[in-house]
Amino acid sequence: MKIIVTGGTGFLGHHLIRALVKAGHQVKNIDLKPSPIYPTVVADVRDQARMLKEIIDADVVFHLASLIEAGESVKKPARYLDFNINGTLSVLEAMRQNGLKTFIFSSSAAIYGEPQNIPIKEDDRTLPISPYGATKLAMEALLNTYVKAHGFSGIALRYFNLYGPEEHHQPETHAIPRFIKQIHQGELVTIWGDGGHLRDYVYIDDIVAAHLEALSLAQKQPTQYHYFNLSTEKPASVMELVNLIETALGQSAKIKHFPDRPGDPRVLYASAEKARQALHWQAQVSLEAGIKRTVDYFINYWQKNATP
Please identify every residue annotated as catalytic. 132
Residue 64 is a binding residue for ligand NAD (CB under 6 A): yes
Site string for ligand NAD, 186-205 (x = CB under 6 A): --------------------
Number of H helices, E strands in the chain: 11, 14
Minimum gap (Å) between residue 83 Cβ and ligand NAD:
5
Site string for ligand NAD, 13-52 (x = CB under 6 A): x-----------------xxx----------xxx------
* Binds ligand NAD (CB under 6 A): choice among 62, 83, 152, 298: 83
Q: Is 166 helix (H, G, I), strand (E, B) or coil?
A: coil
Distant-in-sequence, close-in-space partners of 27: CB < 8 Å, separation ≥ 6: 3, 4, 5, 8, 17, 20, 21, 38
Instruction: List, in sequence order, the alpha helices (H) in the chain.
Output: 11-22, 48-54, 70-75, 77-80, 87-98, 131-150, 175-184, 204-220, 238-249, 273-274, 287-304
Q: Which of 140, 137, 131 is nearest to 92 (CA)?
A: 140
Residue 128 is a binding residue for ligand NAD (CB under 6 A): no
* Binds ligand NAD (CB under 6 A): choice among 65, 95, 138, 244: 65
Minimum gap (Å) between residue 43 Cβ and ligand NAD:
6
What gap in Å lies between CA 195 and CA 257, rounded to an integer? 8
Q: Which of 265, 262, 225, 285 is nearest to 74 (CA)?
A: 262
Q: What length does the chain have?
A: 308
Segment near ligand NAD (CB under 6 A); pick from 156-164, 178-186, 189-197, 215-223: 156-164
Please name every residue paired with 103 in a beta bridge, in sequence order, or none if there are none: 61, 154
Minimum gap (Å) between residue 252 Cβ and ligand NAD:
26
What gap in Å lies between CA 187 and CA 204, rounded to an integer? 26
Minimum gap (Å) between residue 185 Cβ and ligand NAD:
22
Residue 87 is a binding residue for ligand NAD (CB under 6 A): yes
Segment near ligand NAD (CB under 6 A); pick from 61-69, 71-79, 249-257, 258-266: 61-69
What gap in Å lies between CA 286 and CA 297, rounded to an integer? 17
Residue 161 is a binding residue for ligand NAD (CB under 6 A): yes
Residues in contact with ligand NAD by the rule CB under 6 A: 6-7, 9-13, 31-33, 44-46, 64-66, 68, 83, 87, 106, 108, 159, 161-162, 169, 174
